[in-house]
Amino acid sequence: MDSLRIAANVKHIFLLYIWVVYVVFNPTDSGAVQITQQTLASTLASNELVFINFYAEWCRFSNILMPTFDEAADKVQESFSQPGKVVLAKVDCDKETEIASQFHITKYPTLKIIRNGQVAKREYRGQRSSEAFVSYIKGQLEDPIKEFSSLEELLKLDTNKRIIIGYFDAKDQKEYDTLRKVATNLKEDCQFHVGFGDVSKQMHPPNQPIIVYRPDTERSVDLDETYTGNITSFDELFAWCSGRCLPLVREITFENAEELTEEGLPFLILFHHPDDKTSIKKYNEIVQTQLIEEKSNINFLTADGFKFAHPLHHLGKGEADLPLIAIDSFRHMYLFSNYKDMDTPGKLKQFIADLYSGKLHREFHYGPDGDGTENEKGTKPTFPPESSFKKLAPSKNRYTLLKEEL
């Protein structure tokens, strides 16, 4: 009997040990939520904000990040315990290849935000610590809309910003809730302001909310525009606001250069003096009237010529030569020969066409097409300046790059 009792105790102790080991190494209620193809749709639909870590088990950067991300998930859960508010999740891209393809994952680890079912345009590229992740989530959950208490306040808004203004009877309207969700998704691209009741009643008929777009008048040639669609339709309002908040011509900075290079399109850049608004507006007008069909082939950008002095140096130019236009193909940089020729219809369009035909590269080596003298003399070809912006692409010291996009 004693031997049977001892054997039973040993068995119980062994089973208890196995259970403890399993719980320690396979926690069910901590860390980021594991997403599969079967749970993806329900996770996105049931949460206002989903922060996803796309990883691969063989990637050393993914392995370094994982415990930090799981720790942040626990802290976020403690701070925002309300169901449906926010969740941190992770996707094993080797196992879930369809999800990786759906979200266009080209490097590990990639951190993306999905708000109200919509993938945010910008990935998370900040500090990789649990504190930074928690702070980022708190910022994402802040109310993106500012309420004005008088119409005079609208006259003081920054004219260098794109702005959406809403005029409502009350805050508990369904239309306002729709605008709030749209603003949550686009708050990095537009400012959102609203007025309620007596403050805004002279700007709209009773029980008929009005939403207006105000362009960045210091940079663009756009006009004010009133939304005429269904304000209670998230998809309709989001599409309309996106078309105005995401401009055709964008400003490149050191903060957004990585995401712009990752889009993989060459840059057509206007380098300008920081105080020069005239050239920016002219460039915007020409892009919108003459080059809009090229938007799938090239990124239209403006750059502060003082901040981006290094690319100008590569082109053999300096601050005194501003404004000027150049193409960066992520292999080489090519200078538009005469900035004033921008006004000539078709000149910039031909400049872009010459990039894709190879003419820019060929003529830089051997002189104008049809000349032939350089080759006949046996002169060594010259080489266009190397790309300055490729160096601002995602770093191989921070990501495992699946393929070279640029």
- Does residue 157 contact residue 191 with C-beta atoms inside 8 Å? yes
Q: Mind listing the pLDDT tens digit for each residue in 334-347?
A: 999 999 999 999 99
pLDDT band at 378 (very low <50, low <70, confident <90, very high): very low
- Specify the amino acid at residue 14: F
Q: What is the pLDDT of residue 192?
A: 98
Tokens at residue 313, please?
A: 């140096």
Q: Which residues are 114's β-sheet partners? A: 50, 119
241-255, 325-339, 376-390: the lowest-pLDDT one: 376-390
The SS3 call for residue 98 is helix
CATH number at 249-400? 3.40.30.10
Q: Between 370 and 219, whose confidence is greater? A: 219
Q: What is the DSSP letter of 273?
A: -
pLDDT band at 12 (very low <50, low <70, confident <90, very high): low
The model's pTM is: 0.81
Q: Between 370 and 240, whose confidence is greater? A: 240
Q: What is the pLDDT of residue 7?
A: 53
What span, in angstroms and rounded, lies between the C-alpha atoms of 75 and 55? Answer: 21
- How is domain 145-245 classified at the CATH fold level? Glutaredoxin (3.40.30)
Residues contacting 115, CB < 8 A, separation 6+ = 48, 49, 140, 184, 185
Q: Rg of the chain over CA atoms, in angstroms?
A: 27
- Does residue 85 contact residue 137 with C-beta atoms inside 8 Å? no
15-29, 202-216, 250-264, 290-304: the lowest-pLDDT one: 15-29
Q: Does residue 132 register a pLDDT over 60?
A: yes
Q: Please state which CATH class domain 33-140 belongs to.
A: alpha beta
Q: Does residue 362 register a pLDDT over 80?
A: yes
3-state secondary structure 325-377: EEEECCCEEEECCCHHHHHCCCHHHHHHHHHHHCHHHHHHHHCCCCCCHHHHH
Tokens at residue 164, please?
A: 């959406």
Q: What is the pLDDT of residue 5?
A: 57
- Helices in 150-290 by DSSP H: which ranges? 174-186, 234-245, 257-262, 278-290
pLDDT band at 19 (very low <50, low <70, confident <90, very high): very low
CATH 3.40.30.10 placement within the chain: 33-140, 145-245, 249-400
What span, in angstroms and rounded, lies between the C-alpha atoms of 77 and 10? Answer: 39
